[in-house]
Amino acid sequence: MPLISQEEIVHFEKAIYLPMVLIILERDRMLFEKGSFKLKRPYIELVDGAIKQVHKELQETKIHMRKHHMKMIKGTGDDTFTEYVFYHGGYEDHRRYLNVRLRNRVEELLRVYLAMSYQEI
């Protein structure tokens, strides 16, 4: 039986991925603002909506983690892997994530949040 439940791992992974998604969205927003697009506003509104959704979910994740005494620290990394250390319930769990997996998951989440934003427009 794993020391940290899969349900809690989901929260730890949100704490990994959501800040990465925010960084990408904020950079993209700046590109839309500075770009030579004829009509910038629809793109900016789409990205702003996604940013708002990610901020909301990240805040909920942080509250959950604080409430349940969960902590995550980014460990060592190289060109292939990045390590994260999860602390919860007196246990310490070291996990290594393939950087390609991190990138692919962030890309999936970008699609999800942009689709959510699009539906709200």
Is 59 part of any domain?
Answer: yes
pLDDT value, residue 75: 95
Distance CA 81, CA 76 (A): 8
Whose tokens are 């509250």? That residue is 63
Would you call 38 helix, strand, or coil by DSSP?
coil
For residue range 63-118, list pLDDT tens digits in order: 999 999 999 999 999 999 999 999 999 999 999 999 999 999 999 999 999 999 99
For residue range 6-65, list pLDDT tens digits in order: 999 999 999 999 999 999 999 999 999 999 989 999 999 999 999 999 999 999 999 999
Q: How many structural domains compose the chain?
A: 1
Domain with 40, as residue range(s), is: 6-120
Is 1 part of any domain?
Answer: no
Rounded to 5, what percent of the chain is helix, strand, coil? Answer: 65, 20, 15
pLDDT band, residue 121 (cuts 50/70/90):
confident
Is 48 part of any domain?
Answer: yes
pLDDT value, residue 31: 96
Please, are residues 25 and 110 in contact by the beta-carbon 8 Å criterion?
yes
Q: List strand residue ranges (DSSP E) for 1-121, in order.
A: 71-77, 81-88, 91-98
State the chain's mean pLDDT as an integer: 96
Is 23 part of any domain?
Answer: yes
pLDDT band, residue 3 (cuts 50/70/90):
confident
Is 63 part of any domain?
Answer: yes
